[in-house]
């Protein structure tokens, strides 16, 4: 897995997703299927996008008791996605159970990464709403280390934290980073944002880009701009 741009297909139907992806013609961007699309269309959308040749990050952010997550991951592993994820806040025990569930009888499995703190959460909201009073960076690094110790392959974090995560967990530990905006773009609900070029400088392995591509007047051009700025 080299550096790449992952396009968040945050649509509420297969029809809208295909209409969006058809604009890319023979190019097959690495796509992210999140809750909205998965809850609308179920596993069929994963199989169809796989059949069309896309790499898939299934972003369902599991967070439950270890046994439930283990069994859900066992079901998801049959979908043959490339990457799936959970919340590190579910504890090391939950992450270990998830890995066990995800691993197929032949020993293969999709990559598993952990969400640290959502890029829509900033320091003041974290302190106010979930009573975590440590500095954001320390929280993210602690979650990343716990995920690494549980055997996971990487984390979802802000590009602003990618370098520190690599320092703490090793260069091979993946940083998948949403919260990406063009310099002139609208932040929306994201708080900890950077540009694709900045994310590259900061050492992200993958950027996840949603609205700056999906809501662009020319999505293919916006995607190419991300690729140029991030992969070069
Ligand atoms: O539209 P936008 O570029 O903000 O989309 C970012 C995508 O990444 C969304 O699908 C969001 O659910 C996801 N994401 C995130 N922050 C995380 C994990 C996932 O924004 N920590």
pLDDT tens sequence across 90-105: 999 999 999 999 999 9
Ligand 1 atom nearest the C-alpha of 156 is: 21
Task: Determine phi and psi for 108, rounding to 5 degrees.
Answer: -80, 160
- What average pLDDT score do residues 68-74 get? 98
pLDDT band of residue 189 (cuts 50, 70, 90) is confident
**C-alpha distances out from residue 45 to 13, 21, 34, 58, Å:** 9, 13, 11, 11
Residue 32 CA: nearest ligand 1 atom is: 10
* Residue in this structure with the two tokens 């900061």, named with its chain if needed: 202
pLDDT tier for residue 229 given thresholds of 50, 70 and 90: very high
Select from 115, 119, 165 the residue to mutate for testing ligand 1; criterion: most ligand atoms less than 8 Å from CB. Answer: 119
Which atom of ligand 1 has the smallest separation from the CA of 212? 3
Q: Which residue did the predictor score with more confidence, 190 or 125? A: 125
**Are 102 and 110 in contact, with CB atoms under 8 Å apart?**
yes
- Residue spans of beta strands (DSSP E) within the chain: 4-8, 30-33, 56-62, 83-87, 111-115, 154-156, 174-177, 206-209
A 10 A CB-CB count for 15 gives 10
Contacts of 214 (CB under 8 A, 6+ apart): 7, 8, 9, 10, 11, 20
Ligand 1 and 101: CB distance under 6 A: no
Which entry of 3, 16, 55, 61 is annotated as an active-site residue?
61
E strands along 56-107, which residues? 56-62, 83-87
| Partners of residue 194 on adjacent β-strands | 180
Is there an atom of ligand 1 within 6 Å of 210 CB? yes
Mean pLDDT, residues 169-195: 91
Q: Using one digit for the tens of pLDDT, what is the confidence trace for 46-63?
A: 999 999 999 999 999 999
Q: What is the predicted pLDDT for the residue at 190?
A: 81
Whether the Cβ atoms of residue 190 and residue 157 lie closer than 8 Å to each other: no
Q: What is the pLDDT of residue 151?
A: 98
Q: How far apart are CA 4 and CA 177, in angstroms?
A: 11
Q: Where are the domains of the chain?
A: 4-230
Q: So what's the pLDDT on residue 40? A: 98
CA of 107 to the centre of ligand 1 (A): 30
| Phi/psi at 33 (5° precision) | -105, 120
Does ligand 1 have an atom closer than 6 angstroms to the CB of 118? Answer: yes
Report how far ligand 1's centroid is from the alpha carbon of 2 (Å). Answer: 20
Whether 61 is catalytic is yes
Instruction: Please state the atom number of ligand 1 nearest to the C-alpha of residue 115.
Output: 21
If one compares 118 and 30, the residue with the highest pLDDT of the two is: 30
CATH number of 4-230: 3.20.20.70
**What band does 1 get if pLDDT is binned at 50, 70 and 90?**
low
- The residue written with tokens 């990406």 in the block is 180
Question: Mind listing the pLDDT tens digit for each residue in 114-162?
Answer: 999 988 899 999 999 999 999 999 999 999 999 999 999 999 999 999 9
Of 45, 56, 42, 43, which Cα lies nearest the Cα of 4?
56
pLDDT of 191: 84
pLDDT for residue 68 is more than 90: yes
In this model, does residue 195 exceed pLDDT 70?
A: yes
Closest CA to ligand 1's atom 21: 118
Report the share of the chain in percent with pLDDT over 70.
100
Residue 227 CA, distance from chain mean position: 17
Q: What is the pLDDT of residue 32?
A: 98
Tokens at residue 9, please?
């297909």
pLDDT at 80: 92
By the 8 A CB rule, do 169 and 127 touch?
no
């Amino acid at each position: 897995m080299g550096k790449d741009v992952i396009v968040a297909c945050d649509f509420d139907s297969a029809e809208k997703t295909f209409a969006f992806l058809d604009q890319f013609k023979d190019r097959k961007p690495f796509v992210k299927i999140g809750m909205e699309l998965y809850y609308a269309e179920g596993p069929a959308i994963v199989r169809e996008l796989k059949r069309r040749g896309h790499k898939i990050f299934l972003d369902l952010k599991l967070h439950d008791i270890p046994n439930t997550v283990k069994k859900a991951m066992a079901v998801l592993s049959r979908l043959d996605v490339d990457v799936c994820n959970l919340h590190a806040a579910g504890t090391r025990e939950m992450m270990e159970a998830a890995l066990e569930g995800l691993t197929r009888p032949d020993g293969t499995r999709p990559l598993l990464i952990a969400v640290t703190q959502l890029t829509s959460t900033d320091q003041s909201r974290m302190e106010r709403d979930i009573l975590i009073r440590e500095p954001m960076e320390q929280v993210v690094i602690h979650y990343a280390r716990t995920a690494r110790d549980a055997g996971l392959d990487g984390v979802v974090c802000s590009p602003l934290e990618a370098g520190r995560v690599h320092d703490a967990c090793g260069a091979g530990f993946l940083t998948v980073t949403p919260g990406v905006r063009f310099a002139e773009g609208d932040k929306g609900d994201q708080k900890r944002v950077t540009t694709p070029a900045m994310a590259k400088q900061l050492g992200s392995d993958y950027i996840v880009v949603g609205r700056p591509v999906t809501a662009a007047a020319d999505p293919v051009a916006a995607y190419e701009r991300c690729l140029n700025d991030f992969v070069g």
